[in-house]
């Protein structure tokens, strides 16, 4: 145990001793809230409840997000895309292409990203405001020690399921540079809300519920294995967990709505300009024939090693700007959000896995550089790219033989 942990432990011990001397114990009736708290933090029931909460989160995001997506796609096709195509039928091909690609980008943003992200952020806000996140940290303390961290690190990891950027910033609460490095690598591998859009919007919708869950299981195995290796390999001081848990409380619906709205609005402000500009650029280079040249160049590798069509490789590159853009640009290049028309189940699964693992978005790269420096950022980026390509190739190889 570190010196700082020893000091904190002794301070709490001395405080407890003073309390025992100066206070009188009275009979305390256990309240209903305390009973619930005891159940939530018990070793077996608590872990089971945490797993159930995560599965329920996935189910709600999948069903509600999918329902909203279908409605939004139908509205866009009827009232925007089809009328625009008819209106631009006699215009200059380049102008028509740029406008249609831009509109498809807007459709992809509203239909694919926002439904899933908004629903996920509502649930995350409920977990935060109720105090359940700190209980999760307590429950998983023993597990996180196996990867060289402590239970407090689970909070940045859970935040990473929303967005990797604030999650990596929150590693400042960890005590050592060793813990920050390990946590940052694991956060970079954690499926954020943008990657959840890809997993659920592509695999969950067109391949199946359990296929999407299997990607999360694969990610969990990768995160645990990576953390275990880093925990054994990185030198540095190991610390224990000392934390104070606030009482369970009922979330305020207004606060939950405001927090969700702020997060969704931030996504719209950041992602939509990039998405529309990226889609317009795609329309331009497609009209000029540049896109065909690039896709012809990467097709032998994309098809031969990963089993993906060349336009999927183009979408993966755009995913570096914003992760959800990989799926949105895929829809633009495919000319449809019904991916079952252009991709096989194996191709959709492989695309989602590669998108989920490889280099985080450019905003995450920037915050990694700010927190850890260029050396660690470069190592993390190269590691995730290599890992994604290797696993993507293995999935294609195994899938082709079954």
Lowest-pLDDT choice from 249-253, 265-269, 355-359, 384-388: 265-269
d(CA 147, CA 223): 9
Question: Which residue is listed with tokens 């030198």?
Answer: 235
Query: Who wins on pLDDT, 162 or 98?
Result: 98
Most confident of the following: 9-23, 48-62, 127-141, 348-362: 348-362
Helices (H), 24-78: 32-40, 43-76
CA angle 349, 198, 213 (to 5 degrees): 60
Task: Give the tens place of pLDDT for each residue, 66-121.
Answer: 788 788 878 888 888 889 888 888 888 888 888 888 887 787 777 766 777 788 78
Q: What angle do the packed helices 362-372 and 374-400 form, to 10 degrees?
A: 140
The structure tokens listed for 116 are: 């899933």
CA–CA gap between residue 151 and residue 148 (Å, rounded): 10
Q: Could you count the other beta carbons within 10 Å of the beta carbon of residue 393? A: 16
pLDDT greater than 80 at residue 218 = yes
The count of residues in the chain is 402
Position with higher pLDDT, 348 vs 139: 348
| 230: containing domain | 3-243+250-400
Q: How far from chain centre, in Å, is Cα 114?
A: 14
Q: What is the pLDDT of residues 229-285, one digit of tens each?
A: 888 877 666 666 566 677 888 899 999 999 888 878 876 776 677 767 877 887 888
The DSSP 8-state label assigned to residue 152 in this structure reads G
Q: How many domains does the chain have?
A: 1
More confident residue, 154 or 345: 345
């Amino acid at each position: 145990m570190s010196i700082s942990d020893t000091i904190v432990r002794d301070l709490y011990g001395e405080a407890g001793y003073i309390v025992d001397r100066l206070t009188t114990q009275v009979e305390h009736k256990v309240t209903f809230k305390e009973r619930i708290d005891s159940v939530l933090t018990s070793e077996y029931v608590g872990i089971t409840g945490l797993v159930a909460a995560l599965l329920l989160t996935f189910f709600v995001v999948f069903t509600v997000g999918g329902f909203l997506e279908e409605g939004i796609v139908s509205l866009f096709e009827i009232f925007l895309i089809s009328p625009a195509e008819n209106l631009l039928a006699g215009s200059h091909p380049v102008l028509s292409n740029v406008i249609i690609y831009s509109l498809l980008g807007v459709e992809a943003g509203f239909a694919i990203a926002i439904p899933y992200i908004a629903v996920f952020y509502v649930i995350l806000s409920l977990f935060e405001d109720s105090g359940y996140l700190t209980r999760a940290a307590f429950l998983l303390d023993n597990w996180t020690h196996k990867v060289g961290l402590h239970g407090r690190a689970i909070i940045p990891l859970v935040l990473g399921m929303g967005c990797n950027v604030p999650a990596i910033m929150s590693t400042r609460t960890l005590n050592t540079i060793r813990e920050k490095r390990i946590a940052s690598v694991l956060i970079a591998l954690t499926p954020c809300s943008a990657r959840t859009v890809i997993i659920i919007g592509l695999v969950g919708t067109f391949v199946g519920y359990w296929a999407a869950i299997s990607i999360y299981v694969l990610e969990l195995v990768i995160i645990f294995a990576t953390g275990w290796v880093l925990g054994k390999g990185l030198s540095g001081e190991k610390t224990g967990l000392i934390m104070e848990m606030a009482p369970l409380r009922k979330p305020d619906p207004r606060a939950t709505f405001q927090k969700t709205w702020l997060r969704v609005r931030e996504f719209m402000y950041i992602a939509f300009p990039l998405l529309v500009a990226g889609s317009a650029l795609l329309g331009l280079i497609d009209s000029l024939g540049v896109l065909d040249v690039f896709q012809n160049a990467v097709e032998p590798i994309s098809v031969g090693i990963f089993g993906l069509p060349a336009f999927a490789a183009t979408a993966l590159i755009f995913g570096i700007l914003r992760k959800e853009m990989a799926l949105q640009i895929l829809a633009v290049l495919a000319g449809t959000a019904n991916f079952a028309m252009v991709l096989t189940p194996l191709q959709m699964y492989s695309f989602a896995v590669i998108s989920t693992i490889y280099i985080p978005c450019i905003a995450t790269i920037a915050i990694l550089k700010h927190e850890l420096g260029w050396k660690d950022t470069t190592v993390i980026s190269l590691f995730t790219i290599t890992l994604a390509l290797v696993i993507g190739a293995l999935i294609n190889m195994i899938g082709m033989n079954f």
